[in-house]
Structure 1
Amino acid sequence: MYVLIVGAGQVGKMIASNLADSHDVAVVERDPEVAEEITYSFDVLSVQGDGTELETLREAGLERADLIVACTNSDEANIVVCGTAKSVSDTFTIARVRRRTLLNTWEGSEGAFGVDFMVCTDLLVAQTIFRISGFPQAQDVEMFAGGLVRMAEFDISSDSPLVGQRVEEADQHDSMTFAGVFRGDEMIVARGETVFCADDRIVVIGSPSSVKEFAMATVTDTTSSTDDVVIVGGSEIGFQTAREFEAHGFEPRLVERDHERAREIAEALPNTFVMESDATDTEFLAREHIDEADIVIAALDSDEKNLLVSLLARRVGVDRTVAIIENTEYGDLFETVGIDVAINPREETAEEIVRFTRTDQTEKIAMLEHDRAEVIEVELGPESALTGRQIADSMADLPECVVIGAISRDGELITPRGTTVPRAGDHVVLFVDATVLDEVSSVL
């Protein structure tokens, strides 16, 4: 596939990095220094110029492009790029936007703007926060097979009963599979003899109920719910997050310092209790019983402010904190100082876009630990190496660093075992080392 990426910011670089080994990639960037850096950093064609101009797109290979990704920092420019490309070609176009109003317009008018698929960053982040909030200690949560299957990544604390157990001892849930373990810089495929250690991050795949029961029983000793949600910051991400919780029956609290913005949010979100204040004011935190919150989400306009708010929340006794970070290099720092989950909007956007480059049968992907591993959903065809054979036999045709986590058949969840025989049309959810993804895809 020939992929043309317009915009070499963090999103563009992440997409280029992910695709360079398996696709022909060209990147258009206006900044000459950044365009030159791309040339030396990745095995891609770099074109310096304005991606909204047809001649620049042609210079980058528009006529042979299978996919165009417009991911500059300007919503309007991204839409113009797609419209310009569509004026002379039928290539598939993807536009990254931040404003949900543009997404609403596009969804309400088929083919609007010349965009085939639109990714709304702020909405993606809000949905991610909501998914994670329902699972204690979860670092990442994704849905597969139409919601029938959950994938979750958990931190293992030193006091977890999992520490020192083997996978075969901990495997007590009928509809859940242990998939992988991240230990420092090492990625371990979960086998029966694998022993869990403190500070491991483990990936499990199974039914929503089993994954949640597992989390409550073994990952953490807390039994608290996520009823009391506090969102700090009336940014677009903060607003969309509150709206997402409202849509699922919650009544979140939102703290916003600016009077006009607080009033605007209060009018738009009737089930959100908006408090006009500075969230770094410790007297305010005490007065409003922020310490009783089940989760505090920091969605202010800078990484530094989000770090400060999160640390204050932990200091007053909040069990769980989630912070938005724009700088990808801050992720490890935030978690090192005690922030439970750090979410980068650009990473969320890149992951959503990358799935369009997968083979036709791949339904969905989730990238873990900066794409060291992926969880993918594949619909099996009659020629797949898994179809019509017991899993114990067919796994010989797959690399060792692959785990079949779940199977969906006609709306029912099947927990895979060695004697399970997948059929054509089944949806299979697999945990795969990212380095062998192309090899796995070729036999599925």
Structure 2
Amino acid sequence: MKIIVVGCGKIGYTIAKVLSEKKDIDVTVVDNNPNIFDKMVEPIDVIFISGNGANEKTLIEAGAKDADLIVSTTNADELNVLCCIMAERLGTKHSIARVRNPEYMLEFNKLWKDLGIDMVINPERQTAREISRILRYHAADDIVTFIGDRVELVSFKVSETPEYFVGKSVSQIFDNNMGILLAIVERENQALIPNGDLIFKESDIIWIMGRPSQIMKFFTLIKKGPKKGQEIMVIGGGKITHYLVELLNRHTTKANIKIIKKDRSKCESLYEALSSASLERRCLFIHGDGTNEELLIDEGIDTMDACVCLTDRDEENVFISLYAMRRGVKKVITKINYIHQNMAKSLGLWLGNIITPQYITAKTVIRYVDGLSGAVGRNIMTIHQIYSGDDGNVDAIEFQVNKKAKCIDTPIKKLKLKKGILIGCISRDFDIIIPSGETEIHIGDRVIIFSKNNDIRDLDDILEN
């Protein structure tokens, strides 16, 4: 597979590095700074071309006429969109554009298909989503998203709420009206696709799937949802903080957010941006230095349910996070860009609460590439390996259903599915459907399939021969 990455800043470099480490992928990096490679912390195995990614000659030199994918990650939204359009007109099959401006994102969602761009990545928004999920699901170990974040797959330990699960069967806890699918149970280094008779053990790890709102209701039901009126302190951050406030207003119950920013003009700009979207009502904006102990104590860090550190300096974020943990804050989230995660962990930060925007974005691109690598000319959208153990692997695969599929317009209970296949979720227009035996798959649906130890490259591969 041939991939072009335009722009070699933090985001572009990380994407190029991760892609170059994958088998059978040739990466070409385009950047208008001829000395960019000299500044890299670690060399990467790519072809480097100096030039403007929106220039036809540069794109042709980079191989745009027969490339499988272009990922444009420069700091200019308009340039990224133009690079993708130019490359696709030259022959590149797929494109991903980095778009950061919140106003562009709203408008662009309506136009990106018409422009021929397959995916839009927004590192700040994706980072905010990750933080929002950590705050919403404090019992969750891992979260995977599908269908434009409209569906979530969440794992958690039964030991977090043994009184609710241990000794009970699947059918006693889950029913068809919950809007939740029990997808997988991990037990003793094995993955089980459960039936209704399976009895839960305290050592189990559970994977559930559904809309974010339904997942929230389930966690509230088992007493592991966020408490009403969470007190959250956010230190620093610009666009990430803007998106985070938006997501917390949408998904949590009356969260109270204190935002501390050192730069007065940026603090005022953030207030104005949130006010224009009517998102400032439960926010308190404080102009001050988040490393000032007296300020943090005065603003009630001891009473906070969570502290989110989003300044531009890794050292400040680590320092404030360690201080918040010592003051007893239960949930501390730390953004880092350059410090290695293992080093941050060795200092006492919990690895699951360390956020690195470039790796979150790279992970999104990798999932898209994994879908393309197994789906050139087919109907796979994304592939996620969610489990690997003694008894093999479990993949979650998102398909776009076309008219050639053999499984359409037939109740699922009548389909002869291979062993180890579970139909997890169906997206149809604006509906998210957790299927029953009577549910049918239709042309145009997006379907999420769980597959244990099956080589699935097409939707019809879920059926027995």
* Band of TM-score, shorter chain: 0.7 to 0.9
Cα distance between partner residues in 2 of 1:441 and 1:17: 28
* Alpha-carbon distance between aligned partners in 2 of 1:84 and 1:421, rounded to the nearest angstrom: 42
Task: Tell me which residue corresponds to 2:5.
Answer: 5
The counterpart of 1:378, out of the listed 382, 399, 405, is 399
- Quote the offset at 1:379 in angstroms: 4.1
Q: Distance in 2 between matches of 1:79 and 1:129?
A: 27
Alignment of 1:429-444 (within 5 A): 429-432=448-451, 438-439=456-457, 441=459, 443=461
Residue aligning to 1:94: 96
Query: Retained in 1: the 8 A contact 2:84–2:97?
Result: yes
What amino acid does structure 1 have at the position aligned with 2:70? I
Q: Could you report, residue by residue, the CA deviation over 1:371-425 in whole angstroms, capped at 9, with x for unpaired residues?
A: x8654443444554644364585331x6x3x4332345676665445x4553333
Unpaired segments ≥5 residues, structure 2: none
Matched position secondary structure for 1:9:
helix
Q: Give the distance between the partners of 1:146 and 1:85, measured in 2 at CA.
A: 24
Tell me if the contact between 2:423 and 2:450 (Cα under 8 Å) persists in the aligned partners.
Answer: yes
- 1:4 offset after TM fit, Å? 2.8
What amino acid is the match of 1:439? R
Letter in 2 for 1:177: L
Can you list the C-alpha shifts for 1:335-375, whole angstroms capped at 9, x where unaligned? 974465333322332344443754464466667589x8654
Q: Provide the rounded CA distance (Å) in 2 between the counterparts of 1:393 and 1:340.
A: 40
What is the count of residue pairs matched by the alignment? Answer: 426
Query: Which residue does 1:204 correspond to in 2?
Result: 208
Matches within 5 A, 1:303-342: 303-326=314-337, 329-330=340-341, 334=345, 337-338=349-350, 341-342=353-354
Amino acid at match of 2:332: T
SS of 1:4's partner is strand
In structure 1, C-alpha distance between the alignment counterparts of 2:339 and 2:411, rounded to whole Å: 43
Once the 2 structures are TM-superposed, how far is the Cα of residue 122 of structure 1 from its aligned partner? 0.9
1:306-333 Cα distance to aligned partner (Å, 9 max, x none): 3333333333333333332335951796
Q: Which residue of 2 aligns with 1:216?
A: 220
1:289 & 1:145 partners in 2: Cα distance? 39
Counting aligned pairs with the same residue, the percent is: 23
Q: Which residue number corresponds to residue 242 of structure 1?
A: 245
Residue of structure 2 equivalent to 1:264: 269
TM-score by length of 1: 0.73
* Alpha-carbon distance in structure 1 between the residues aligned to 2:312 and 2:249: 22
- Equivalent residue runs for 1:151-162 within 5 Å: 151-155=153-157, 157=159, 160-161=162-163
Q: Which amino acid in 2 is paired with 1:256?
A: K
Relative to structure 1, the CA distance from residue 15 to residue 378 in structure 2 (aligned partners, 3 Å threshold; closer, same or farther) is same
Deviations 1:172-213 (A, max 9, x none): 3433222235689x6734435585555x75421135555334
What is residue 42 of structure 1 aligned with on the other side?
Answer: none
- Counterpart-to-counterpart distance in 1, 2:232 and 2:42: 45
Deviations 1:132-165 (A, max 9, x none): 4333423555665688754323355556446765
User: Alignment partner for residue 441 of structure 2, among 397, 414, 423?
Assistant: 423
Q: Alpha carbons of 1:341 and 1:91: their partners in 2 closer, same or farther (altered >3 Å)?
A: same
Which amino acid letter does the alignment assign opposite residue 48 of structure 1?
F
Q: Distance in 1 between matches of 2:159 and 2:339?
A: 24
The equivalent residue for 2:170 is 168
CA RMSD of aligned residues (A): 4.6
Stretches of structure 1 that go unaligned for 5 or more consecutive residues are: 40-45
Partner of 1:28: 29
Shift of 1:233: 1.0
Given that residues 51 and 81 in structure 1 are in contact (C-alpha distance below 8 angstroms), is that contact kept between their aligned partners in structure 2? no
Match for residue 349 of structure 1 among 349, 358, 361: 361
- Please say which of residues 302-311 and 334-343 is displaced more in the overlay: 334-343
Partner deviation per Cα, 1:20-66 (whole Å, 9 max, x = no partner): 45xx5432266668799544xxxxxx422225265553344221124
Please give the secondary structure, in 1, of the residue aligned with 2:416: helix
1:60 to 1:432, Cα distance in 2 relative to 1, 3 A:
farther
Alignment pair present for 1:403 and 2:422: yes
Match of 1:229 in 2: 232
Distance 1:208 1:190 in 2: 22
Letter of the 1:443 counterpart: D
* 1:188 and 2:191 are equivalent in the alignment: yes
Distance 1:63 1:412, change over 3 A: closer
CA contact (8 A) 1:409 1:427 kept: yes
Judging changes above 3 Å, is the alpha-carbon distance between structure 1 residues 118 and 429 closer, same or farther for their aligned structure 2 residues? closer
Q: Is 1:133 aligned to residue 135 of structure 2?
A: yes
CA distance in 1, matches of 2:379, 2:270: 41
Letter in 1 for 2:97: A
Distance 1:226 1:333, change over 3 A: farther
Q: Give 2:457's aligned amino acid.
A: E
Match of 1:43 in 2: none
